[in-house]
A and B are shown apart, each in its own frame.
Chain A
Amino acid sequence: GEDVEQSLFLSVREGDSSVINCTYTDSSSTYLYWYKQEPGAGLQLLTYIFSNMDMKQDQRLTVLLNKKDKHLSLRIADTQTGDSAIYFCAENLFSDYKLSFGAGTTVTVRA
């Protein structure tokens, strides 16, 4: 099974904030990632954070990293219908080329 854990579903009202949570296992991972996948599409790299950072903000996206608890979160402000997708958390396990992905959180935005 995956080393990275995520809740499977999130339903949010349009205009509200969404928070997607992820727990990872390897404290030596250098980077942690958030990918978005819309139906029928590939994975879009939304953002990533270096392991020595606590927070990263990019427009509507805020990533928080708690290394002590191995907890990563993605907050989407002012959620829109276009934000409906599957969101994957991933860590690189201090590997040159391998990422370990979570199972993905399906976010549904309702009007």
Chain B
Amino acid sequence: DTEVTQTPKHLVMGMTNKKSLKCEQHMGHRAMYWYKQKAKKPPELMFVYSYEKLSINESVPSRFSPECPNSSLLNLHLHALQPEDSALYLCASSHGVLTATGELFFGEGSRLTVL
């Protein structure tokens, strides 16, 4: 089972709203990722959690707040977003470091529209 599950699939929010994106994997992976993807562009890394600790923050604005409650779950809390934050948000997971394990699996994404 190589599955990363993301909810919701679609989200529309106003600039004053607070919402969360959720991601779950049951493959025993110890690294989980958030990526942002604009239309017709490659995904851009936002955050990486390794063993439930934040390992990488790619200078993402504080209106995006990640959380890793346990090794299977990853959340992205959204607050005071801007219309330019509208994008497909992809969650991914890997067994461990990519240099050793290779495989990075993505979910289907949450399509966010900010009005």
Q: Name A's B-contacting residues (CB within 8 A).
A: 2, 30-31, 33, 35, 40-45, 48, 50, 86, 88, 92, 94-99, 101-104
Known A101-B43, A103-B42; judge A33-B104 contact (CB<8 A).
Answer: yes
A30 & B42 in contact (Cβ 8 Å cutoff): no
- What are 25 A-B contacts with C-beta separation under 8 Å? A2-B42, A30-B98, A30-B99, A31-B102, A41-B108, A41-B109, A42-B6, A42-B108, A42-B109, A43-B43, A43-B106, A45-B106, A48-B103, A88-B42, A92-B98, A95-B99, A96-B50, A96-B55, A97-B31, A97-B48, A97-B50, A97-B56, A97-B98, A98-B98, A99-B45
| Interface residue tally for chain B (C-beta within 8 Å) | 29
Q: Interface on chain A toward B: helix, strand, loop, or mixed SS?
A: loop
